[in-house]
């Protein structure tokens, strides 16, 4: 080591700090860049949601990534009826879904909706970054589970659409809070709802339409 040069440990520490800072900046850019998240109608984005720190975003992305790995295996190995039963469990606190609202101001003022929007955004980012295919159902299961741990009630909505003129069927799942889609809802208008879990927990019942059913919602 030459005179005036910092000790080896300090140099390694400094290099680690630079690399860590770069990782943090990358995560911050992903979560701040509108193109990194599903397209949204600006009128429906919570306007004053508290900004999450980079550390907090990093931890949520890790939580989502680990959850997606578990969810992908669960979808392959566990019967659908058991997944539906898991999605239908009440929150430990007993908190129920508030009524559906068509008032944007009511949603914007709801802290649970802001939390749902933030978690949904980060789950969608994690799904694009993990080294395996994490499609709509694993994302919805993970988003619902993460929000359940945070005391936010949500509904998984299942829909289908005709994929081909020959009668092929394409299934899709997305998450809603108070009738408002916030994860996987971008293509919901092209699907016909067939089920939701928990059913009738405050969200929109089968056959009803709302913002999540219209192009450009959220």
Q: How far apart are CA 218 and CA 34, in angstroms?
A: 12
Q: What is the pLDDT, as a whole number, of residue 49?
A: 61
Buried-exposed string 130-160: b where 16+ CB fall within 10 A, e elsewhere: beeebbbbbbbbbbbbbbbeeebbbbbbbbe
Percent of the chain with pLDDT over 90: 47
Beta carbons within 10 angstroms of residue 24's beta carbon: 15
- pTM to 2 decimals? 0.71
pLDDT in tens, 92-129: 888 888 999 888 888 888 999 999 999 999 999 999 99
């Amino acid at each position: 080591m030459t005179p005036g040069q910092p000790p080896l440990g300090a140099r390694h520490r400094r290099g680690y700090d630079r690399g860590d800072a770069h990782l943090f900046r990358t995560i911050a850019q992903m979560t701040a860049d509108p193109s990194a998240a599903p397209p949204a109608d600006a009128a429906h984005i919570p306007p004053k949601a508290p900004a999450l720190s980079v550390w907090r975003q990093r931890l949520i992305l890790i939580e989502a990534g680990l959850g997606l790995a578990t969810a992908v295996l669960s979808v392959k190995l566990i019967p659908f009826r058991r997944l539906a039963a898991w999605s239908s469990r009440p929150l430990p606190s007993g908190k129920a879904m508030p009524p559906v609202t068509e008032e944007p101001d009511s949603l914007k003022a709801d802290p649970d909706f802001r939390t749902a929007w933030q978690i949904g955004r980060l789950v969608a980012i994690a799904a694009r970054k993990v080294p395996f295919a994490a499609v709509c159902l694993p994302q919805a299961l993970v988003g619902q589970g993460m929000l359940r741990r945070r005391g936010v009630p949500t509904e998984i909505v299942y829909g289908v659409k005709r994929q081909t003129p020959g009668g092929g069927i394409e299934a899709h799942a997305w998450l809603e809070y108070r009738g408002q889609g916030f994860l996987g809802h971008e293509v919901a208008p092209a699907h016909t709802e067939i089920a939701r879990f928990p059913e009738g927990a405050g969200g929109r019942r089968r056959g009803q339409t709302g913002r999540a059913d219209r192009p450009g919602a959220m």
